[in-house]
Amino acid sequence: MTDDILARVEGAVGRITLNRPKALHALNTAMCEAIVAALQAWRHDPAVTLVLIDHSGERGFCAGGDIRMLAESGTKDGVEARAFFFVEYRMNALLMDYEKPVCVIMDGIVMGGGVGIALPCRYRIATERTTFAMPETGIGLFPDVGGGWHLPRLPGEAGMWLALTGARIKAADCLLLGVATDYVESAKVESLKAAIVKDPAAIETLLTEYEADPGPPALAQHQDVIDAAFAAPGVEAILQALREDGSPFAIAQHDALLTKSPQTLKVAYRQLRTGKVLTLFHDNMAMEYRIGTRVVARPDFIEGVRAVIVDKDNAPRWSPDQLEGVADALLDEIFAPLPADQEWSPLP
């Protein structure tokens, strides 16, 4: 359906390759539809025993979704943005429900929509080029694609920290948090993929053979600060806890939060606290679809895209520009159920 996704079967392995390198493999609707079609075709095919997801070129696994399209749609009727979210979230849910093992090669940038593809996979392979982040608070969006489910289930409050600050972490930290299951040097990735295709049943043995040492995780020395501060009851309380801690790391996180969309910070906080207690991934995706359909049309997302992606002045003017200006009533409106015929649903 699109040249931006290469889907084929090699031996007993279904292979999906993201193939939009000039856009860092940013997802669009057609790409998500193509991934869903391939996964559906192989789901009950006994000839396919494992799915392998990777990317072409060397510039990164997936930098997220097609943000420009979402912003342009948000300034109009939002139909195109809703259609994208609907199929992307179906793809996320299909990966979560998939009966066969899925292996993803996270060699490079893994952000936004790339996180939504990677985290449901059983085998998540990082390399020295891996950079993982959910940077949506910096553009007035929110950490979607299952972020409300995956992030609060990371150790301690690391998920809340990642969601609110948009922090970027490398391979060793990905292993520490369980974001990645394995670490392989990028120079050996092609050899590993060939070995998996040759004998997919031996994947766990192969991963042990190819395993390398990413070095010490930089995040380990800051986990106590993160867990204490980001457990606070609300974004304002998190900021206060960081100020009271006073360490250089805490102050750096505090100052980073002050640059983010106040609306998005409060949306993400509620999203993760709600997602943490949900028992079904599908319920989380329905929540995120409600958020997404509303947030893309709100001023902060349009302004965030202008500042970061269009004009690139990195000086967004948030509205409201203070946390106290984000009323609970606004959050209630953003999270409220949609009319029954407009709600998200998983694949039948």
State the catalytic residues: 65, 113, 136, 144
| Contact assessment for residue 142 and residue 271, using Cβ atoms and an 8 Å cutoff | yes
Where in the chain does DSSP place strands (E)? 5-10, 13-18, 50-55, 102-106, 109-111, 123-126, 131-133, 182-183
Task: Name residue 263's beta-bridge partners.
Answer: none
Dmax (CA) of the chain: 58
CA dihedral 173, 221, 165, 53 (to 10 degrees): 0
Encoded amino acid at 19, one letter: N
> What is the DSSP secondary structure assignment for residue 9, as one 8-state letter?
E
Which residues on adjacent β-strands are paired with residue 62? 110
Say how far apart CA 302 and CA 333 lie, in whole Å: 19
